[in-house]
Amino acid sequence: MEDSQRTLRRFSPLSFYQCPTHHIPIADYRNQLNTVLQRRRLKVVWTDTSTGPQDRPTWTSTAWINGYEYGIGQGSTKSESREAAAKATLDMAI
């Protein structure tokens, strides 16, 4: 782990989150992230972009918390990419 990741993790609003993501059903990462953040009175802000052809886009979503970029995810739909980004965010906190 790089020093910048250690520093971010040390001051992360998710630093006390201790639930392994491999036990969370695939469609629940965003719900789990929102639950954790609500306990700390925080909100996630999403940025979403799509690339590729309109009939088969690739979506990329980024989860931002307190102005810091956390998880990034990709998927064939915006919902899939946000789920992947939420999982990446939760994985950072473990």
Choose among 32, 39, 41: nearest CA to 86: 32
Structure confidence at residue 75 (pLDDT): 96
pLDDT tens track for 37-60:
999 999 999 999 999 999 999 999
pLDDT score recorded for residue 93: 72
Domain boundaries of the chain, sorted by first residue: 29-34+44-93
What residues in the chain have per-residue pLDDT under 50? 1, 3-11, 16
What's domain 29-34+44-93's architecture?
Answer: 2-Layer Sandwich (3.30)
> What is the structure's pLDDT at 42?
95
Backbone angles phi, psi at 41, to 5 degrees: 55, 45
pTM above 0.75, yes or no: no
Question: Nearest CA to 82 among 47, 53, 40, 38?
Answer: 47
